[in-house]
Structure 1
């Protein structure tokens, strides 16, 4: 067969070699509409820093001096998120982003023409995983939030479930809760230890159960009590998924306990003493 016929590959390799690498998802930006308190802007900037976001946009913000409360509340976000915040208009946000509005109360009911399909923060996280477009998380004013006309121009609306007696969170709290729930979209790794735990080998776990059975026998408990406690321990370890280090520590403890109990039995028999002291 010649090199031009079907079934042969060109010297350059397969077409996959020229495939573009997958495009990295762009992280959401955070927009605050007409914030009244600089401290809340700083709190939001800090929450952004905590959960891996860096682009903050402000619609008609108050003055934010570098020696003011916004920088005081921002923590390490005073170094980048806050000083790089950009002032924009609401129209620019709507025109350039897939928008998610946040609100607690809209004032609308089933008689209104416009209905808002609310998502919880967890539902929003799953929804945004499928959105391949620049996204803006839009927070409203401290006292009034986003009004109904503004909400009607946004693509999605998120509301944080809270007590019916007092459902309104302040602006900084709402931002922190929502950005925490969305962290899978913005943070690759967290500081949590032991995110992957390797369970101890099964033969070590079985050795522990053997030691525990010996320990139960040495207590002199009745057979049905020993069987019940052995089953409870097996269920407990089954749920706990102990690591190799943990199970070895337990093995050492019960090995020593069983050795001492055996020695106590030996001394009791040698000196004709009761194995267990009388119960008072």
Structure 2
């Protein structure tokens, strides 16, 4: 399925509505990249406050790729107050590390804590980002209920605008994946959140490893050492049930081949996978 064909999938369902608000956006490339990050993680509401660049800029469109629909539907406002008037929570962002009396003005939390706070929130939220190279003004910061900051290196704390947006929406989406994977068609389900084997499958895997070790040439110590190390190596990787099933099939094939080469009749009487007459010859 191509990317264009996947656009019909629903966005992830969340208890809250998120609006990304950009104040004074001036670089069309960043604007397009932000749209792409937003749609990558299932967010589609963008609001622009006094933008310096246009949503129709060709660079913005090129950088947005398949997220051009966000540029099509974005709303433009004259003030941050207007852009957030329908939101129950207004969260600003800043990378500045103030000291002294200014510290209390910036009530920070990290993106993952912000994401956790929103898990059960049921209203509209605006996440506000300032202009590239300037950030939010003191007045705009004063309109925010609290601020989120990235845990960047103290020696160079200010991140690119599109990178900052990407980090925040990623953390929000990560929390959604943890809570809704398997129950929301808009959430990827290809990677299991928990890696475990049921006892029956684990027993079959261990038996296969033991039989493979016994089929090896050499003394009992070598066979036991091989089986022990292979079992520990596989289990240390915490395979999924699908991975374990595939490993079992390969181990059984290898065991059958070792028994056949060694002239061990068990390859014929106890093999679990069919071998053609040509293979027997």
TM category, shorter: 0.7 to 0.9
The residue that corresponds to 2:92 in the other structure is 101
Q: Following TM superposition, by how much is the alpha carbon of 1:140 offset from its aligned partner in structure 2, in angstroms?
A: 0.6
Give the Cα–Cα distance (whole angstroms) in 2 for the partners of residues 240 and 115 of structure 1. Answer: 48
Give the Cα–Cα distance (whole angstroms) in 1 for the partners of residues 202 and 43 of structure 2. Answer: 44
Give the Cα–Cα distance (whole angstroms) in 1 for the partners of residues 261 and 212 of structure 2. Answer: 8
Q: Residues 150-189 of structure 1: matches in 2 within 5 Å? A: 150-183=140-173, 184-185=175-176, 188=184, 189=186
- Which structure: larger Rg? 1
Give the Cα–Cα distance (whole angstroms) in 1 for the partners of residues 53 and 261 of structure 2. Answer: 75
TM-aligned CA distance change 1:138 to 1:152, over 3 Å = same
Q: Residues 171-250 of structure 1: matches in 2 within 5 Å? A: 171-183=161-173, 184-185=175-176, 188=184, 189-191=186-188, 193-195=190-192, 202-217=199-214, 218-221=216-219, 223=221, 226-238=223-235, 239-243=238-242, 245-250=245-250
Structure 1 unpaired stretches of 5+: 1-22, 266-280
Give the Cα–Cα distance (whole angstroms) in 2 for the partners of residues 259 and 120 of structure 1. Answer: 58
Contact 1:212 1:230 in 2 (8 A): yes
Give the Cα–Cα distance (whole angstroms) in 2 for the partners of residues 160 and 177 of structure 1. Answer: 8
TM-aligned CA distance change 1:95 to 1:210, over 3 Å = closer
* Aligned CA-pair RMSD: 3.1
The residue that corresponds to 1:83 in the other structure is 72
Question: Which deviates further from its counterpart, 197-206 or 240-249?
Answer: 197-206
Aligned match for 1:139, one of 122, 129, 138:
129
Give the Cα–Cα distance (whole angstroms) in 1 for the partners of residues 228 and 21 of structure 2. Answer: 56
In terms of fraction of residues, the more helix-rich structure is 2
The residue that corresponds to 1:6 in the other structure is none
Count of residue pairs brought into register by the alignment? 240
TM-aligned CA distance change 1:130 to 1:151, over 3 Å = farther
Give the Cα–Cα distance (whole angstroms) in 2 for the partners of residues 131 and 264 of structure 1. Answer: 66
Give the Cα–Cα distance (whole angstroms) in 2 for the partners of residues 222 and 255 of structure 1. Answer: 16
For residues 197-246 of structure 1, the C-alpha deviation after alignment (integer angstroms, 9 at most, x for no partner) is 896664454344334334434332453x5545433333334322442631
Aligned match for 1:114, one of 104, 107, 115:
104
Give the Cα–Cα distance (whole angstroms) in 2 for the partners of residues 176 and 24 of structure 1. Answer: 18
Give the Cα–Cα distance (whole angstroms) in 1 for the partners of residues 63 and 257 of structure 2. Answer: 54
TM-aligned CA distance change 1:127 to 1:194, over 3 Å = closer
The residue that corresponds to 1:254 in the other structure is 254
Structure 2 unpaired stretches of 5+: 1-12, 266-281
Compute the TM-score of the two structures, normalised by the length of structure 2.
0.72
